[in-house]
Amino acid sequence: MKETHFAIRNNPNGQELWRSISGNFQRFPEIINEFVDDALSNFRATRTDQRRVEIRLRQWEEFVDVSVVDTGTGIRDIHAALTLGSRSGSETALNEHGMGLKHALASACEDGSWSIQTRTPEDNAQDQHLVVRGPYHLGDDPMTGCYLSGRGILMGPTGTAVSFTCTRDFFATIRPAGDRTDKPFEALVDILLEELGHTYAPILDDGEMEVAVVVGDQVYPVEPVFPYWELNSIHDILPTDLDLGGGPVRVRCCWGLIRPDKDNHLYYRGNMESSGVEIRCNGRLMERGLDKRIWSKQLHPSRNHFLMVVELTADQPGALPSTRPTKTGFRDGDPRLEKLFAWLRANITPIAPQESVEKRLTRALAEQKQAESDVLRVALEEKTYCSLDLRVKMDLFVSRRDQTEVYESKKGPSKALDLYQLKMYWDGCAVDGRPLNRGILVARSHPREVQNLVSALNDSYRDPTGQPYHLSLLTWAEAGINPKAV
Ligand SMILES: Nc1ncnc2c1ncn2[C@@H]1O[C@H](COP(=O)(O)OP(=O)(O)OP(=O)(O)O)[C@@H](O)[C@H]1O
Ligand SMILES: [Mg+2]
């Protein structure tokens, strides 16, 4: 049979395509970040003096009007800018996928109620600006652009404004994931300020750009959101030049414990979600909560105050690990990312689970005993009842020149059961053939029933070898150890 070939007619319909790329963003701030990224990229590429972005909001009953307005040098090539996936407009590494603007607009308003105003230096010379309005069209049914005189809603001689109308429900996705409480508009604006302040913290701090949220006459400048480090817990690696496989990258790492900031809605709160590892690319936060992907295990809950900030800086496109098209994280399996993770594993030890207060108290007691002149040996967690293979571990064992002691420690008030634990250490040592001379239960306080039980055990009971017990009670205060200071 003769082979017949025919053309596949797969020109997409503009509006169908537009709908198909919507819905990939989880939250409103992720969309705003795409527009801010475009403005920042333009500031960086053109080194313009004016570097301001305003996010203007206007609320209606059911909708919110949003405009992201910048003072950049305008969109150089509107055709490329509105072509899905086109990389020809790319100005810096922040213009990575050729999608952000379209992707974000499609997700914010499927119905096509968006517009772009832009004014380049050439437009400025002619005192005009270019306007393109949605909905998105393609091919034989193209969208049209038109020049209007003046600056439109722009705030400088050149710049870009992206405007859209979204539903109140979509705007409300500013609230933290999982939080279903109905938040007033002002509270959502407050969270948006924190989101932007966190995503662009070092960039805002360096004055590389300024960002403000504007609601009516109110202007809210975005302040950088940084963690408050516990001063004696900070470690860092000096800036190191690496090649992750696509050109030089400078890596800076800083890690330690933070003081939880309970005034924040989302970040650096000292909880599970806001701790761990965050990675920034040229100052812009790319992903956080990466500890599991780096060390294959989640941080221990006692390490919720642990934070590691990894800052990657690179000029060359392709030097940094590639991001997801929504710029909400890195692409899994990217070889540059894997190389970075390998480097982090080689150079940073994830902080071990924090010792419980009880363990730290016992350690303090052990150090105190070690310093006493007649002490020969001090052991934490030493086994007893070895002859019966019971695997019982004593909190603290102390051997002096002429006697041996065992300690059971409790951070709070003692209980009768704690005394039986101490008795078990004693019995185990007795049957193992290294009898004890003193057993001491250390706790914050000792209630009467525990005091009575000590007297009863000492007076009326015998250990498995027929010897009397010498148990006693001690408080942390009597031992000279302050539970708050360990
Ligand atoms: N505010 C702006 N100022 C100047 N140029 C812009 C602006 N916004 C968009 N552009 C131009 O439009 C192009 C397309 O933007 P879009 O966000 O869709 O993709 P991208 O930034 O190239 O890649 P990414 O998908 O990584 O965001 C940009 O490369 C840039 O040339
Ligand atoms: Mg972009």
φ, ψ (nearest 5 deg) of residue 347: -110, -15
For residue 51, give the ligand nearest its CA.
1
Rounded to the nearest whole angstrom, what is the distance from the C-alpha of residue 10 to the centroid of ligand 1?
26
Any domain includes 7: no
Q: Are residues 127 and 154 in contact, defined by beta-carbon separation less than 8 angstroms?
A: no
pLDDT (average), residues 165-170: 95
Contacts of 55 (CB under 8 A, 6+ apart): 32, 36, 66, 67, 68, 192, 196, 211, 212, 213, 214
Is the pLDDT at 432 greater than 90? The verdict is yes
Q: What is the pLDDT of residues 181-236, one digit of tens each?
A: 889 999 999 999 999 999 999 999 999 999 999 999 999 999 999 999 887 778 88
Domain count, the chain: 3
Domain range for 269 is 232-347
Percent of the chain with pLDDT over 70: 97
Rounded to the nearest whole angstrom, what is the distance from the C-alpha of residue 288 to the centroid of ligand 2?
20
Q: What is the CATH number of the domain that holds 417?
A: 3.40.1350.10
Q: Do 289 and 362 belong together in one domain?
A: no
Q: What residue has token string 């709070």?
A: 412
Q: What is the DSSP letter of 61?
A: S
Rounded to the nearest whole angstrom, what is the distance from the C-alpha of residue 87 to the centroid of ligand 2?
10
Rounded to the nearest whole angstrom, what is the distance from the C-alpha of residue 101 to the centroid of ligand 2?
5
Q: Do 329 and 415 belong together in one domain?
A: no
Q: Do 370 and 332 belong together in one domain?
A: no
Rounded CA gap, 280 and 275, in Å?
Answer: 15
For residue 95, give the ligand nearest its CA.
1
Q: Do 54 and 199 belong together in one domain?
A: yes
Radius of gyration of the chain (CA): 32
Q: What is the CATH number of the domain that holds 51?
A: 3.30.565.10
Rounded CA gap, 394 and 169, in Å?
Answer: 58
Rounded to the nearest whole angstrom, what is the distance from the C-alpha of residue 98 to the centroid of ligand 1?
7
Q: Which amino acid is at 26?
A: Q
Q: Which of 221, 248, 283 is the last residue before a domain boundary?
A: 221
Q: Do 389 and 293 belong together in one domain?
A: no
Q: Do 337 and 241 belong together in one domain?
A: yes
Q: Does residue 81's CB lie within 6 angstroms of at least one atom of ligand 1? A: yes
pLDDT attached to residue 152: 97
Q: Do 209 and 106 belong together in one domain?
A: yes
Any domain includes 6: no
pLDDT attached to residue 416: 96
Any domain includes 213: yes
pLDDT (average), residues 454-482: 96
Any domain includes 227: no
Beta strand extents in 101-247 (DSSP E only): 114-119, 128-133, 145-149, 159-167, 210-215, 218-221, 228-229, 235-243
pLDDT (average), residues 368-383: 95
> Which of 21, 38, 67 is the best mutation target for the ligand 1 pocket, counting ligand atoms within 8 Å of the beta carbon and taking the most?
38
3-state secondary structure of 310: strand
pLDDT attached to residue 454: 97
Output the residue whose Cα is nearest ligand 1's atom 5: 75
Output the residue whose Cα is nearest ligand 1's atom 8: 38
Q: Does residue 159's CB lie within 6 angstroms of at least one atom of ligand 1? A: no
Place 279 in a pLDDT band, splitting at 50, 70 and 90. Answer: very high
pLDDT attached to residue 302: 62
pLDDT (average), residues 380-390: 92
Any domain includes 124: yes
| Numbers of helices and strands, H then E, in the chain | 13, 19
Place 413 in a pLDDT band, splitting at 50, 70 and 90. Answer: very high
pLDDT attached to residue 351: 65
Q: Does residue 72's CB lie within 6 angstroms of at least one atom of ligand 1? A: yes
Q: What residue has token string 């499927």?
A: 110
pLDDT attached to residue 483: 77
Average model confidence (pLDDT) across the chain: 93
Q: Do 375 and 467 belong together in one domain?
A: yes
Q: Do 389 and 452 belong together in one domain?
A: yes
Q: Does residue 89's CB lie within 6 angstroms of at least one atom of ligand 1? A: yes
Any domain includes 40: yes
Place 342 in a pLDDT band, splitting at 50, 70 and 90. Answer: very high
Rounded CA gap, 221 and 337, in Å?
Answer: 34
Rounded to the nearest whole angstrom, what is the distance from the C-alpha of residue 41 to the centroid of ligand 1?
8
3-state secondary structure labels for all residues of the chain: CCCCCCCCCCCCCHHHHHHHCCCCCCCHHHHHHHHHHHHHHHHHHHCCCCCEEEEEEEECCCEEEEEEEECCCCCCCHHHHCCCCCCCCCCCCCCCCCCHHHHHHHHHCCCCCEEEEEECHHHHHCCEEEEEECCCCCCCCCCCEEEEECCCCCCCCCEEEEEEEEEHHHHHHHCCCCCCCCCCHHHHHHHHHHHHHHHCHHHHHCCCCEEEEEECCEEEECCCCCCEECHHHCEEEEEEEEECCCCEEEEEEEEEEEECCCCCCCCCCCCCCCCEEEEEECCEEEEECCHHHHHCCCCCHHHCCEEEEEEEECCCCCCCCCECCCCCCECCCCHHHHHHHHHHHHHCCCCCCCCCHHHHHHHHHHHHHHCCCCEEEEEEEEEECHHHCCCEEEEEEEEECCCEEEEEECCCCCCHHHHHHHHHHHHHHHHHCCCCCEEEEEECCCCHHHHHHHHHHHHHCECCCCCECCEEEEECCCCCCCHHHC
Output the residue whose Cα is nearest ligand 1's atom 4: 75
Any domain includes 314: yes
> Which of 71, 95, 326 is the best mutation target for the ligand 1 pocket, counting ligand atoms within 8 Å of the beta carbon and taking the most?
95
Q: Do 399 and 377 belong together in one domain?
A: yes
Q: Do 367 and 274 belong together in one domain?
A: no
pLDDT attached to residue 441: 98
Q: Which of 283, 313, 347 is the last residue before a domain boundary?
A: 347
pLDDT (average), residues 80-88: 93
Greatest mean pLDDT range, 16-20, 98-102, 175-179: 98-102
Place 244 in a pLDDT band, splitting at 50, 70 and 90. Answer: very high
> Which of 92, 101, 286, 322 is the best mutation target for the ligand 1 pocket, counting ligand atoms within 8 Å of the beta carbon and taking the most?
101
Length of the chain: 486
pLDDT (average), residues 257-262: 86
pLDDT attached to residue 262: 86
pLDDT attached to residue 352: 59
Any domain includes 149: yes
Of 124-133, 265-274, 322-331, which gets the smallest average pLDDT? 265-274
Contacts of 346 (CB under 8 A, 6+ apart): none
Q: Do 90 and 37 belong together in one domain?
A: yes
Is the pLDDT at 447 greater than 70? The verdict is yes
pLDDT attached to residue 300: 65
Q: Which of 187, 202, 221 is the last residue before a domain boundary?
A: 221
